[in-house]
């Protein structure tokens, strides 16, 4: 719901966000169509008619400002980032696996994504918020490690120090 960047004191962020999650409750969502941000980011949209997800995102944004984080100035766009196309200087590969030359232009993914038929809607319920740490390890994709799980609609314990590698995708 919010990219924070470097977090010197995660406990302060968790203390600010925990009551917001407890007050929110589980959120019914539906995975919707595909799209791109620019030429490098592929996303799946999230439909959520109640507005609860946007409300939680806005509340988290406001709660993080006094902690020294910049407030969001773009309109909220509920989505899940599926992939990022890297530039050739970072090891971009063409379809079929052949490497682009350093300094080469990454492929344009927008037309392919927008021309694809939309996926079938997939309903699901978000039951917790996860604070992820991203570890950059060039030339490999970033590794995302769950640091805390905050239940939506409950004041249960916070799971700290989870070192499972939840994803090796180059997405937040």
pLDDT, residue 11, reads 94
Element (H, E) at 36: strand 27-37
- Would you say residue 44 has pLDDT above 80? yes
Of 135, 153, 144, 139, nearest to 172 by C-alpha is 144
Q: What contacts 133, CB < 8 A, 6 or more positions away?
A: 7, 144, 145, 147
Which pLDDT value is given to residue 102? 53
pLDDT for residue 170 is more than 70? no
* pTM score of the predicted model: 0.74
pLDDT at 149: 93
The pLDDT, as a whole number, for residue 25 is 92
Tell me what pLDDT residue 61 has.
Answer: 97
Give percent above pLDDT 70 in the chain.
77
| pLDDT at residue 145 is higher than 60 | yes
161 phi, psi to nearest 5 deg: 75, 25
Rg from Cα positions in the chain:
18
Q: What is the mean pLDDT of residues 92-121?
A: 65
Q: What is the pLDDT of residue 109?
A: 79
DSSP 124-158: EEE-EEEEEEEEEETTEEEEEEEEEEEETT-----
Q: Which is nearest to 106 in space by CA: 78, 128, 86, 125?
A: 86
Mean local confidence (pLDDT), 84-111: 57
């Amino acid at each position: 719901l919010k990219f924070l960047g470097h977090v010197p004191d995660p406990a302060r962020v968790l203390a600010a966000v925990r009551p917001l999650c407890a007050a929110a409750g589980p959120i019914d969502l539906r995975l919707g169509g595909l799209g791109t941000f620019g030429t490098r980011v592929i996303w799946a949209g999230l439909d959520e008619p109640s507005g609860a997800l946007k409300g939680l995102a806005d509340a988290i944004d406001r709660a993080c400002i006094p902690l020294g984080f910049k407030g969001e100035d773009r309109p909220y766009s509920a989505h899940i980032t599926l992939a990022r196309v890297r530039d050739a200087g970072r090891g971009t590969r063409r379809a079929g696996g052949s490497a682009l030359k350093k300094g080469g232009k990454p492929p344009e993914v927008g037309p392919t994504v927008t021309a694809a038929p939309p996926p079938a809607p997939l309903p699901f319920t978000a039951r917790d918020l996860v604070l992820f740490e991203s570890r950059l390890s060039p030339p490999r994709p970033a590794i995302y490690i769950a640091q805390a799980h905050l239940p939506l609609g409950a004041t249960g314990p916070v799971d700290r120090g989870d070192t499972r590698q939840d994803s090796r995708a180059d997405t937040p």
